[in-house]
Amino acid sequence: MPNADFVTGLKCRLCGKLYPKSPINFCTDDFGPLEVDYDYARMRLALSREKITKRPRGMWRYRELLPLDGDPTVGPQVGGTPLIRADRLADALGVEQLWIKNDAVNFPTLSFKDRVVSVALSKAREFGMRTVGCASTGNLANSVAAQAAQAGLETIILVPADLERAKIFGTAVYGAKVIGVTGTYDEVNRLCTQIALKYGWGFVNVNLRPFYAEGSKSMGFEIAEDLGWRFPQHVVCPMAGGALIGKIHKAFTELNTVGLVDTPVTTKMWGAQAAGCNPISDCVKSGRERHKPVRKPNTICKSLAIGDPADGYFAARLMRESGGWAEDVTDDEIIEGMLLLARTEGVFGETAGGTTVAVTRKLLDQGRIPRDEEIVICITGNGLKTQDAVFDAIEEPAEIKPSLMEFEALAGLAGEPALA
Ligand SMILES: Cc1ncc(COP(=O)(O)O)c(C=O)c1O
Ligand SMILES: [Zn+2]
């Protein structure tokens, strides 16, 4: 059965009005965000665990649950990242069962954004678009640039001018046109909306956003499958625009709806932000229904520095309704989190990963997450891109001449007898 038969159109998340599949992202009646609508009854008949597990590992083994009409033409190898049993980090945090979903090693640009971009650019091609772009806090820029290069699409990428060097470099290297904008991410995003509307280009997180955001569900599908087709009790997830956390939960709900997991979803969703840009965690903690935008984000965790998150309202509601909560941590705690993860599990996550580990610790210490329940932590990006954040916290290596005596003096082994 062609994939197009499962994707019925777009639907307003506020009023439910239906729209045809097209590059639009908001409802003309109430400006509510649009979401992809599926025929789950038909999907239920077409899907089985056997069918999925026979396919190659990777996000596209769940293709019926993703919003393309045809096969993916961009990024068919994305996803399928490891779910790691993290016993040493569990010991350090004082918990019994801990897993890391490690998207720091996603293909091709080492973040979960490769998932959303694979969907968005495949969809852009279905729409016949030749030019694509994005507003980005870094990882999205890397992924759009790399995957557009592979697809032979023209790219325009706008980022805040003060982004980490590695994130700008890791975009320009693919030949993408990168424009640094002297302003916040929210200002960059507004400019992209104007450009997308005026020129009809495919901005993955603007006019392609309903399709793009669905790609994040694949992280949730993989977590459930790798746990043996079941859901964890807790998921801790970093938040910027607030889409990923909602899509992981939506993935679990869909697996139950289409009959791939029998038990209903009871997973509690926990959100992580940096104290220097915490609109969503502040919204949850203060009991406000809607977030208060942060005008001037100020944190080393630039990838999560979105002051006015598009999905903030839905993310906050989900955390409250699922029984979870949100927290935010200081830059020093973020660095500690990055080092703890690296030194217990050998996983070098970026600042967003440090944020997620540190928030997990805080929520455990507050007694909100019980220590004897099963937790999955989402590590969504790679530390090699944000080395500046931890550079000063790492000792310089010692230097010696190529001499055994100097080595023994340094290692405190002087005068030890030889073994043989
Ligand atoms: C590494 C990393 N983790 C998490 C996120 C948050 O994703 P979302 O914007 O869907 O909340 C981002 C977004 O840019 C990111 O770059
Ligand atoms: Zn509407």
- Average pLDDT, rounded, for the chain: 96
Q: For residues 348 and 338, what is the distance between their CA atoms, to the nearest angstrom?
A: 7
Ligand 1 neighbour 281 (Cβ under 6 A)? no
Ligand 1 neighbour 109 (Cβ under 6 A)? no
Q: Residue 417's pLDDT is what?
A: 79
**pTM of the full predicted structure?**
0.97
Q: Quickly count: other Cβ atoms within 10 Å of residue 194's Cβ.
A: 10
**CA-wise closest residue to 75 among 127, 146, 133:** 146
Q: For residues 109 and 142, what is the distance between their CA atoms, to the nearest angstrom?
A: 6
Q: Residue 2's pLDDT is what?
A: 81
- Is the separation of the CB atoms in 349 and 299 below 8 Å? no
Ligand 1 neighbour 106 (Cβ under 6 A)? no
Ligand 1 neighbour 312 (Cβ under 6 A)? no
pLDDT confidence band for 418 (50 / 70 / 90):
confident
pLDDT digits (tens, 9 = 90+) for 71-118: 999 999 999 999 999 999 999 999 999 999 999 999 999 999 999 999
Q: What's the length of the chain?
A: 420
Distances (CA, A) of 14 to 26, 216, 313: 10, 21, 11
Residue in 35, 103, 106, 112 to alter for ligand 1 test, most ligand atoms within 8 A of Cβ: 112
With 90 as the cut, is the pLDDT of residue 420 above it?
no
pLDDT digits (tens, 9 = 90+) for 48-58: 999 999 999 99
Q: Take atom 1 of ligand 1 and give the residue whose Cα is closest.
A: 381
The ligand minimizing its distance to the Cα of 349 is 1
Q: Residue 21's pLDDT is what?
A: 97
Q: For residues 194 and 200, what is the distance between their CA atoms, to the nearest angstrom?
A: 10
Neighbours of ion ligand 2 (CB under 5 A): 12, 14-15, 17, 27, 29-30, 32
% of the chain exceeding 90 in pLDDT: 95
Helices (H) and strands (E) in the chain, counts: 16, 13
Side chain identity at 125, as an amino acid letter? R
Higher pLDDT, 420 or 268: 268
pLDDT digits (tens, 9 = 90+) for 44-81: 999 999 999 999 999 999 999 999 999 999 999 999 99
pLDDT digits (tens, 9 = 90+) for 2-26: 888 999 999 999 999 999 999 999 9
Q: For residues 262 and 121, what is the distance between their CA atoms, to the nearest angstrom?
A: 33
Burial zone of 367 (CB within 10 Å; 0-12 exposed, 13-18 middle, 19+ buried): exposed
Domains of the chain in sequence order: 3-77+113-213 (3.40.50.1100), 83-108+216-391 (3.40.50.1100)
**CA-wise closest residue to 7 among 147, 140, 126, 129:** 126
